[in-house]
Amino acid sequence: MSTVDTIPTTASDPTAAAAVAQFLSPVVLRLQALTVNGKQAHWHVRGSNFVGVHELLDDIVTHAGDFADAAAERIVALGLPIDARLSTVARTVPTTAVPAGFTQSTKIIADVVAEIDVVLADVRAAIDGLDAIDSASQDVAIEIMRGLEKDRWFLLAHNTTD
């Protein structure tokens, strides 16, 4: 038997892997929702700062998709499936505040920030819950938090009058 075969990993512990999935799955689903809703906001934003907000929303959509991919790949790397199909996201993630039609940028920003805040709550719960389970999975959640907080900051900067 080689040394590699004897090193315990989270993937070799089904209980730990399931616990990781329990914390990261809601993050994946909410990030998938943010991806779809952010694109909706991107298409329909209006206002004097249209170009900046429009382009920033595109970045946020890309980041949310990348973050969802990182969390989902961690779950799959541990040997478990993740169901993040659009039908599953629609069934399990509460309805968003992002409007269906044209909306002024101040409102769009507030709505997307509110959605980011909901995702951040799940990410913080994952960080806390993963602390004693798996540091590698916790690191994935920490990186997601850093990125979402940066995107949130950039969005809010468009709504200040200072």
pLDDT of residue 134: 95
Name which of 68-77, 98-107, 147-156 the model is least confident about: 98-107
- With CA atoms as reference, report the closest residue to 148 among 30, 9, 36, 44: 30
> Which range of residues forms the domain containing residue 27?
12-157
Could you give the CA distance from residue 33 to residue 38 in angstroms, rounded to a whole number? 8
Could you give the CA distance from residue 84 to residue 154 in angstroms, rounded to a whole number? 27
Could you give the CA distance from residue 126 to residue 137 in angstroms, rounded to a whole number? 9
Residue 5 belongs to some domain of the structure: no
DSSP annotation string for 23-85: HHHHHHHHHHHHHHHHHHHHHHEESTTHHHHHHHHHHHHHHHHHHHHHHHHHHHHTT------
Q: How many CA atoms lie within 13 A of 7 on its CB side?
A: 4
Residue 162 belongs to some domain of the structure: no
**Is residue 1 pLDDT above 50, yes or no?**
no
Question: What are 78's two structure tokens?
Answer: 């541990």
Tens digits of residue pLDDT in 45-61: 999 899 999 999 999 99
Residue 101 belongs to some domain of the structure: yes
Contact between 104 and 31 under an 8 Å Cβ cutoff? The reply is: no
Q: Quote the pTM value.
A: 0.91
42 band by pLDDT with thresholds 50, 70 and 90? very high
Residue 6 belongs to some domain of the structure: no
CATH of the domain at 44: 1.20.1260.10
Residue 129 belongs to some domain of the structure: yes
Name which of 3-7, 44-48, 92-96, 107-111 the model is least confident about: 3-7
Q: Pseudo-torsion of CA 32, 111, 127, 30, nearest 10°?
A: -20
More confident residue, 7 or 14: 14
Residue 119 belongs to some domain of the structure: yes
Residue 31 belongs to some domain of the structure: yes
Highest mean pLDDT out of 7-21, 58-72, 88-102: 58-72
Residue 91 belongs to some domain of the structure: yes
The helix/strand/coil state of 103 is strand
Contact between 73 and 140 under an 8 Å Cβ cutoff? The reply is: no
pLDDT of residue 94: 86
**Is residue 79 pLDDT above 60, yes or no?**
yes
Query: What is the overall mean pLDDT for the chain?
Result: 91
Tens digits of residue pLDDT in 101-151: 999 999 999 999 999 999 999 999 999 999 999 999 999 999 999 999 999
**Is residue 8 pLDDT above 70, yes or no?**
no
Please count the structural domains in the chain: 1
